[in-house]
Amino acid sequence: MSRGIALLLIATTAAAFLLSLLLPWSSIVGLLRQDTSLATAVFVELRLPRALLALIYGVTLGASGAAIQALFANPLASPDLTGTTSGAALGAVVTAYLLEFSAPLALSGGAVVGALGALGLLLALAGPRAETSTLLLAGLAISALAGALTTLALALAPSPFAFYDAYDWLMGSLVDRSLGQAVFAFVPALVSTILLLRLVPALDSLALGEESAQAMGYDIRRTRLWVVALSALGVGGCVAICGAIGFIGLVAPIFARRLTRGHPGRAIVPAGLIGGALLLAADLTVRAAPVGRTLPIGVVTAMLGAPFFLFLVVRMRRSLAA
């Protein structure tokens, strides 16, 4: 990746972040004229957490998506298609509604455990270098199971409002989160992303196959455990606060590898930046949508991501036929 492209990527992500803070411009200017403290409150308590969460969640999905794809040597592996996000959602729902722990730390912990369980199960079911069909089938089964268990947990929950309460959150939402909650997503996301960067050389060498990477002195078994644990930590932490948001973790690494000339490991950084920009853009779309009320952001990413996923499937089928 050349320096120019790197700067362009950083600038785009930063611009999306600033736009998210400042738009709509007129209402901030209007508030500033009337009441400065109210304008500050809107800025700090509404817009800043929302923009921060979009950035943090997007970066986490992009970076861990790239790491998971590099690990499974498969461009269709991603946190949502492998069931990681559903597992995290299940963990958080069980913690919140069945065990009735409402502390944010407990919620995050539950989500991380759920994500770990899902990724661990996937490794056990599909194997370390899974073929696309095995990987997607195993991921599908895990997602379906986690989804069903989530519904079951909500049905068994003592609170009669559990379904209503959880629905909005499960579809993914960045609205009405506090700065404190943003910090709760930020810490695990930061730790996970920074530690994932240490795995870049190992994941790049894994492009030559597991045996070659191992012969070059990279401990691939340990790398695998790290990727699973760190992805679960980052994604789990974000899911606990913002619910499940799909497709960013699939799409961002695919674009990122075009910038790294196909290298899967060093795509982690650009995938993080692209993921952040994409989720910020999706959130701006949600706000600009002329429907008079807030759409769940997960709906927007899925509506844009699913056709892209289908396009990938068709292209893969063509290349297999050729």
Partner 1 sequence: MTSLLEARGIAIPGRLEATDLQCGGGEMIAVIGPNGAGKTSLLRALAEIELDRGRVAVAGEEVAGTPPARRMRLLSFLPATRALVWPISARDVIGLGLPVHDRARVDEMLDLLELGPLADRPVNSLSTGERSRVLFARVLAARPKLLLLDEPLSNLDPYWVLTTLSILRNAVSETNCAVLASLHNLEQVSAFDRVLLVDGGRIVADRRPNEMLASDELAQAFRVERKGSGWMIRGKISPEAGRQSSQ
Residues that bind partner 1 (CB under 8 A): 73-74, 201, 204-205, 207-209, 211-212, 214-218, 257, 261-264
What H or E segment, with its residue span, contains residue 4? helix 3-22
Our CB check for partner 1 shows the closer of 140 and 216 to be 216
* Nearest distance, CB of residue 259 and partner 1, angstroms: 13
**Is the Cβ–Cβ distance between 90 and 114 less than 8 Å?**
yes
* Nearest distance, CB of residue 1 and partner 1, angstroms: 12
Our CB check for partner 1 shows the closer of 61 and 206 to be 206
* Nearest distance, CB of residue 131 and partner 1, angstroms: 11
Handedness of CA 272, 273, 274, 279 (dihedral sign): positive
* Nearest distance, CB of residue 73 and partner 1, angstroms: 5
Q: At residue 261, what are phi and psi to the nearest 5 degrees? A: 55, 40
- Extract the runs of DSSP E, i.e. beta strands, from the chain: none
* Nearest distance, CB of residue 32 and partner 1, angstroms: 50
Our CB check for partner 1 shows the closer of 50 and 257 to be 257
Residue with tokens 């461009």: 75
The rounded distance, in Å, linking the Cα atoms of 33 and 55 is: 29
* Nearest distance, CB of residue 265 and partner 1, angstroms: 10
Q: What is the dihedral of CA 113, 207, 189, 221, to 10 degrees?
A: 40
Our CB check for partner 1 shows the closer of 63 and 112 to be 63
**Is the Cβ–Cβ distance between 65 and 275 less than 8 Å?**
yes
Our CB check for partner 1 shows the closer of 207 and 284 to be 207
* Nearest distance, CB of residue 201 and partner 1, angstroms: 7
Our CB check for partner 1 shows the closer of 8 and 215 to be 215
The rounded distance, in Å, linking the Cα atoms of 320 and 317 is: 5
CA Rg, the chain, in Å?
20
The rounded distance, in Å, linking the Cα atoms of 207 and 236 is: 27
The rounded distance, in Å, linking the Cα atoms of 121 and 89 is: 16
Our CB check for partner 1 shows the closer of 147 and 201 to be 201
* Nearest distance, CB of residue 318 and partner 1, angstroms: 13
The rounded distance, in Å, linking the Cα atoms of 179 and 117 is: 29
Number of residues assigned to the chain: 322
What H or E segment, with its residue span, contains residue 264? none
Our CB check for partner 1 shows the closer of 184 and 218 to be 218
* Nearest distance, CB of residue 75 and partner 1, angstroms: 8
Our CB check for partner 1 shows the closer of 35 and 219 to be 219
Q: What is the DSSP string of 15-72?
A: HHHHHHHH-SHHHHHHHHHH-HHHHHHIIIIIIHHHHHHHHHHHHHHHHHHHHHHHHH
